[in-house]
Amino acid sequence: MPGDLRGIRVIAVEQAVAAPLCTRHLADLGAEVVKIERPGGGDFARGYDESVHGLASHFVWLNRGKRSVVLDLKTDPGRQALRQLLAGADVLVCNLAPGALGRIITDEALAELNPRLVRCYLSGYGPAGPYAGRKAYDALVQGEAGTISATGTPETPAKPGVSLADLAGGSYALSAVTSALYARERTGLGQRIDIALFDVLLEWMSPLLLAELHSGSAPPPAGLRHASIAPYGPYTTADGQDVLIAVQNEGQWQRLCRTVLAAPELLADPDFGSNSARVRHRERTERAVQARLITLSTAEVTARLEAADVPHARLNQIADVLAHPQAEAAGRWSEATLPDGRAVRVVTSPLHRTPEPPGGRRVPGLGEHTAEVLAELGLTEADTAEREPAG
Residues in CB range of 276: below 8 A, 6 or more apart: none
- Phi first, then psi: give them for residue 291, nearest 5 degrees: -60, -30
The Cα–Cα gap between 224 and 202 comes to 22
The Cα–Cα gap between 342 and 319 comes to 23
The Cα–Cα gap between 314 and 302 comes to 9
How would you label 69-86 residue by residue, b for 16+ Cβ within 10 Å and e otherwise? bbbbbeeebbbbbbebbb
Residue 13 in contact with residue 83, Cβ under 8 Å? no
Query: What is the residue type of 160?
Result: P
The active-site residue, picked from 28, 43, 166, 199, is: 166
From its phi and psi, is residue 279 left (phi > 0), alpha (psi between -120 and 50) or beta?
alpha
- DSSP collapsed to 3 states, 205-249: CHHHHHHHHHHCCCCCCCCCCECCECCEEEEECCCCCEEEEECCC
Distance of alpha carbon 50 from the chain centroid: 21
Residue 313 in contact with residue 319, Cβ under 8 Å? no
Q: How far is CA 76 from CA 97, 183, 303, 385, in A?
A: 19, 34, 68, 9
What DSSP letter does each residue of 321-376 carry, written as one string?
HHT-HHHHHTT-EEEEE-TTS-EEEEEPPS-TTSPPPTTTTBPPPTTTTHHHHHHH
The Cα–Cα gap between 71 and 79 comes to 8
Known active-site residue 166: yes
The Cα–Cα gap between 235 and 292 comes to 10
Which residues are known catalytic residues?
166
